[in-house]
Structures are given as structure tokens and as C-alpha cells.
């Protein structure tokens, strides 16, 4: 689980624009469920508090998911913001 989250952070929280898109999706109350496609990973919002992060592969035109991790909204925000701060990205709190 930790390795998947670390890979997600390193691949997806690399600049301000990527961070902003992800955090907007996570914070949005208008999106009750759905998916956000990052560069490599997909974030699936199950409801306003629960998310699944997975690395998606397309093999023979079929979607395959080999590893995933579920995470609570507030833990996810904390991880993303802590990593973003280390990268020099301007972090946002809830709006």
C-alpha cells in the first residue's frame, strides 16, 4: 500500500497544475462519485470521504487494475499536501 501511494505522489504531484487538478477533485462537493485521470494513476471517488487510487493498464483494449489502495479523504489530503510542500508547491486548505 505504501509503495503505491509513494509512486502516486512522485508521479502525480510534480507541479502546481497537477496538484490543483487533484485537490479540486478531492475537495469538490459537487462531484459525489467519479474518476479523475492523472498522468499514470486514476483516483476514484467512492463518496465524499472515500477514495481508491490505482494504476490502470489497458491490455488488448481491456482495462486491468493490478494494485489499488483505498484511503480516507483527510488522510489523502494530508499526504498530498505534505508531499506538495516538499516540492515547493503552494498548497490549499479546504474551501
Per-residue pLDDT tens digits for 49-60: 999 999 988 788
The confidence score (pLDDT) of residue 63 equals 81
Residue 61: band (very low, low, confident or very high) from pLDDT cuts 50, 70, 90: confident
Whether the model clears a pTM of 0.75, i.e. scores above it, the answer is yes
Residue-wise pLDDT tens digits, 20-51: 999 999 999 899 999 999 999 999 999 999 99
What is d(CA 73, CA 36) in angstroms, rounded to the nearest whole number?
14
Would the CA dihedral through 1, 52, 28, 17 be positive or negative? positive
Q: Which residue has the higher pLDDT, 18 or 1?
A: 18
Residue 94: band (very low, low, confident or very high) from pLDDT cuts 50, 70, 90: low
**Residue 65, SS3?**
strand
CA distances from 30 to 10, 11, 17, 43, 68 (A): 28, 26, 20, 16, 24
Q: Is the pLDDT of residue 95 over 80?
A: no
The rounded mean pLDDT for the chain is 92
Amino acid at each position: 500500500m505504501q509503495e503505491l501511494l509513494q509512486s502516486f505522489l512522485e508521479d502525480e504531484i510534480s507541479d502546481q497544475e497537477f496538484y490543483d487538478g487533484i485537490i479540486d477533485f478531492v475537495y469538490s462537493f459537487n462531484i459525489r462519485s467519479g474518476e479523475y485521470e492523472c498522468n499514470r494513476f486514476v483516483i476514484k471517488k467512492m463518496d465524499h470521504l472515500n477514495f481508491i487510487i490505482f494504476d490502470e493498464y489497458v491490455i488488448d483494449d481491456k482495462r486491468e487494475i493490478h494494485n489499488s489502495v483505498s484511503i480516507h479523504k483527510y488522510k489523502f489530503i494530508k499526504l498530498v499536501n505534505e508531499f506538495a510542500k516538499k516540492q515547493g508547491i503552494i498548497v490549499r486548505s479546504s474551501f
